Amino acid sequence: MPEVNISLFSQSLHFLDRNVFDRLVKKHKSDKHHKGLNSWTHLVSMLFCHLSKSTSVREISDGLRSAAGNLNHLGVEKSPCKSSVSYINAHRKWELFRDYYFALLERYEPSLARRRQYAHKLKRKIFLLDATTISLCLSLFDWAKFRTRKGGIKLHTVLDYDTALPVFLNMTEAGRHESKEAPADFFPAGSVAVMDRAYINFEYLNNLDSRGVFFVTRLKSNADVKTIQSYWTSGKQEHIISDKDIKLLGLQVSKKYPGKLRAIEVYDKKSEQYLVLLTNNLFWTADTISQLYKARWDIEVFFKQIKQVLRIKTFVGTSANAVLIQVWTAMISILLLKYLQNRAKHKWHLSNLAAMLRTHLFSKIDMWRWLDHPFIKSNPPPNDLPLLKLL
């Protein structure tokens, strides 16, 4: 594989639009009084933190210092010291990195589109809602109190099913319930919101229905409902147990959602459980509804990926601002990795790509040659080799 003059890390940064970033820096005035560590150097430092899985600001500083001859290719004048990274993580506005993530997502969205595994007949935007909890040491993160002796944060996320990347993300204390943080006016009319039963809030669901948004979720086992009409289910779809229209009973609940709903009971072979799915769509097949709910697993995979591949379970800063900066730079990192994964000819698993990139971060090899053909194939021995004669 021929060598090039710049490292893989430098080549990766070329996919980040510097002009857009500079405009956002001016908008947020984040370079005002920056004391030597400008916003771009800060971004490069945090991306290095994620891609190299650095565990502290010292490792970030030492890692970039070790690339002394390559810093100018990164757009960085000098490697930051650990105290500068700590200070700027605590004081620079985290909103800069959030806005940059969404700007990059808008630009690269067509390149990130995946082959849709479920609901391929639906020409609609599908969104997946869920939240994940990250435990923190309460003595260090005293602002993130969860329980008496435990701290934590919760990342409330809306994932675009087509790109498997967040289009909404909010951080709260770990005790905050999912239904309290579900975005109200986020989903466009005609789209589909798929969520777990933690989001069951009938006032919220009625709000979605009134704006023409379809939802698929799970009905709680203690829900008081009345069956209006039952439908015949095909014997070819053994996982569909029943399909019926229902109405909610109870004075308060029926006021929150007075309309008709649909309940579909399915059998999940993997978990060996019977699930009752709830939706406001009365026309799609029961199998389509079940496949839509099955697609919700993608957001669980996303949470697993960011926790395994990036530096998201432990933090290099202890303030809320530093944590949010690390979260949003993690989103930029996962976007970059998925863009490289989608464009490469080699069928990378994301975890393998991240691990291999971490190994070769400062190797000077051509990015696309390496992504397309990461392993050198050895030539098989010729068939006409003379046999050794035994004496």
Residue 24: predicted pLDDT? 97
Give the residue from 187, 190, 191 showing the smallest Cα distance to 204.
187
Residue 144: predicted pLDDT? 87
Residue 79: predicted pLDDT? 85
| Whether residue 212 sits in one domain with residue 279 | yes
Q: What is the mean pLDDT of residues 169-181?
A: 91
- Judge whether residue 391 has pLDDT over 80: no
The answer to whether residue 62 sits within a structural domain is yes
Cα separation, 285 vs 240, in Å, equals 10
Decide: helix, strand or coil at residue 229: strand
End of a domain among 263, 285, 307?
285
Residue 36: predicted pLDDT? 75
Q: Are 97 and 325 in contact (CB under 8 A)?
A: yes
- Judge whether residue 218 has pLDDT over 60: yes
Residue 114: predicted pLDDT? 66
Which residue in this structure is represented by tokens 């971004």?
A: 43
Q: Are 58 and 9 in contact (CB under 8 A)?
A: no
| Whether residue 332 sits in one domain with residue 255 | no
Residue 382: predicted pLDDT? 64
- What tokens appear for 318 in the block? 């202890």
| Whether residue 322 sits in one domain with residue 251 | no
pLDDT in tens, 229-283: 998 877 667 788 999 999 999 889 999 999 999 999 998 887 788 999 999 999 9
- Judge whether residue 1 has pLDDT over 70: no
Q: What is the mean pLDDT of residues 284-313?
A: 91
| Whether residue 327 sits in one domain with residue 276 | no
Task: List the Cα angle 268/245/121 in 5-degree steps.
Answer: 60
- What tokens appear for 316 in the block? 């290099």
The answer to whether residue 305 sits within a structural domain is no
Cα separation, 134 vs 314, in Å, equals 9
The answer to whether residue 180 sits within a structural domain is no
Give the residue from 330, 386, 390, 339 showing the smallest Cα distance to 97.
330
Cα separation, 69 vs 106, in Å, equals 33
| Whether residue 277 sits in one domain with residue 201 | yes
The answer to whether residue 215 sits within a structural domain is yes
How would you class 73 by CB atoms within 10 Å of its CB: exposed for 0-12, middle for 13-18, buried for 19 or more? Answer: middle
How would you class 333 by CB atoms within 10 Å of its CB: exposed for 0-12, middle for 13-18, buried for 19 or more? Answer: buried
The answer to whether residue 171 sits within a structural domain is no
Q: Are 217 and 277 in contact (CB under 8 A)?
A: yes
Decide: helix, strand or coil at residue 154: strand
| Whether residue 18 sits in one domain with residue 92 | yes
Residue 278: predicted pLDDT? 96
Query: pLDDT category, 116, cuts 50, 70, 90?
Result: low
Higher-pLDDT residue of 372, 238? 372
Q: What percent of the chain has pLDDT over 90?
A: 65
Residue 265: predicted pLDDT? 94
| Whether residue 331 sits in one domain with residue 277 | no
End of a domain among 262, 285, 308?
285
pLDDT in tens, 245-257: 999 998 899 999 9
Q: Are 9 and 365 in contact (CB under 8 A)?
A: no
The answer to whether residue 336 sits within a structural domain is yes
Q: What is the mean pLDDT of residues 115-129?
A: 74
Cα separation, 298 vs 116, in Å, equals 11
The answer to whether residue 12 sits within a structural domain is yes
| Whether residue 327 sits in one domain with residue 248 | no
pLDDT in tens, 13-51: 999 999 999 999 999 999 987 767 899 999 999 999 999
Cα separation, 278 vs 286, in Å, equals 11
Residue 272: predicted pLDDT? 82
Residue 119: predicted pLDDT? 53
- Judge whether residue 118 has pLDDT over 60: no
pLDDT in tens, 379-390: 666 666 565 555
Question: By mean pLDDT, which of 5-9, 71-75, 354-358 is the weakest?
Answer: 71-75
Cα separation, 316 vs 332, in Å, equals 17
Residue 166, number of CB atoms within 10 A of its CB = 24
Q: Are 342 and 334 in contact (CB under 8 A)?
A: no
Residue 239: predicted pLDDT? 84
Residue 110: predicted pLDDT? 80
The answer to whether residue 299 sits within a structural domain is no
Residue range of the domain that includes 240: 197-285
* Cα atoms found within 13 Å of the Cα of residue 357, Cβ hemisphere only: 32
Residues 6+ apart with CB under 8 A from 101: 328, 331, 332, 335
Mean pLDDT of the chain, nearest integer: 89
End of a domain among 285, 309, 344?
285
Higher-pLDDT residue of 222, 158? 158
Residues 6+ apart with CB under 8 A from 27: 99
* Secondary structure element (H or E) that encloses residue 261, with its range: strand 261-268
Residue 70: predicted pLDDT? 73
Bridge partners, 156 (sequence order): 131, 170
Query: How many structural domains is the chain composed of?
Result: 2
| Whether residue 341 sits in one domain with residue 263 | no
Q: What is the mean pLDDT of residues 94-123?
A: 81
Bridge partners, 173 (sequence order): 153
* pTM above threshold 0.75: yes
Q: What is the mean pLDDT of residues 196-218?
A: 94
How would you class 312 by CB atoms within 10 Å of its CB: exposed for 0-12, middle for 13-18, buried for 19 or more? Answer: buried
Residue 113: predicted pLDDT? 73
